[in-house]
Amino acid sequence: MIQTLNQHIKLFSDFATAHKQINSFDFGDPWEWYNSNKEGTDKLIYPAMFVAAGQTSVVESTLTTTYSIFVCDLVRHAEINENDVLSDTKLISLDLLAYLRKELSGAYALDLNVTLQPFSERGTDYVAGWQFDINFREDLEYNNCQIPN
């Protein structure tokens, strides 16, 4: 049976909740997160992990779903802690890959060819961290309906 978007979000959310360094998690548009700590909104508590849905493709009988992951933390004035932020958020990112590899073994394939891309000075919160895409691959059977009875 194909995993749903909600099941994937729960997988990410469970990791973020269990990880002792992650204080905020959200799923959706990254540009909203980067600008979310404005007056009158809920404050994010960093370090944070955000997940955005990417493309889904069907090739023959394989369904591939891509998610963009953002792991970030606040950078202090004059960027005095930027290297520390990049170091810590990279380790958190690698923890996520290890977690997914363990949790998804046998369920469906996780593409383990991942490139982590550093970023800095993003959003009104002035955050830095790592962004990477992951791909879930599942067998797609065309002989039945995916909607539950």
Which domains are seen in the chain, by residue range?
Answer: 5-139 (3.30.2000)
Query: CA dihedral in degrees (117, 122, 123, 125; nearest 10)?
Result: 110
Whether the pLDDT of residue 118 is over 70: the answer is yes
pLDDT at position 18: 97
Using DSSP's 3-state secondary structure scheme, residue 109 falls into: strand
* CA atoms within 13 Å, Cβ hemisphere of 67: 23
- Of the two residues 50 and 140, the one the predictor is more confident about is 50
Contact 47, 73 (CB under 8 A): yes
pLDDT score of 13: 97
Task: Say if residue 98's pLDDT is above 90.
Answer: yes
- The larger pLDDT score, comparing residue 93 to residue 113, is at 93
- Supply angle C-alpha 34, 39, 41, rounded to 5: 65
Measure the CA–CA gap between 31 and 35, rounded to whole angstroms: 7
3-state secondary structure of 29: coil
Q: Quickly state the pLDDT bin for 44 (edges 50, 70, 90).
A: confident
Query: What's the distance, Cα to Cα, between the start and end of the chain in Å?
Result: 13
Report pLDDT for 1. 64
Give the β-pairing of 117-122 and 127-139. Answer: antiparallel
pLDDT band of 122, cuts 50, 70, 90: confident
**Mean per-residue pLDDT, 53-81:** 91
- pTM of the entire predicted model: 0.86
CA distance 6 to 142: 22
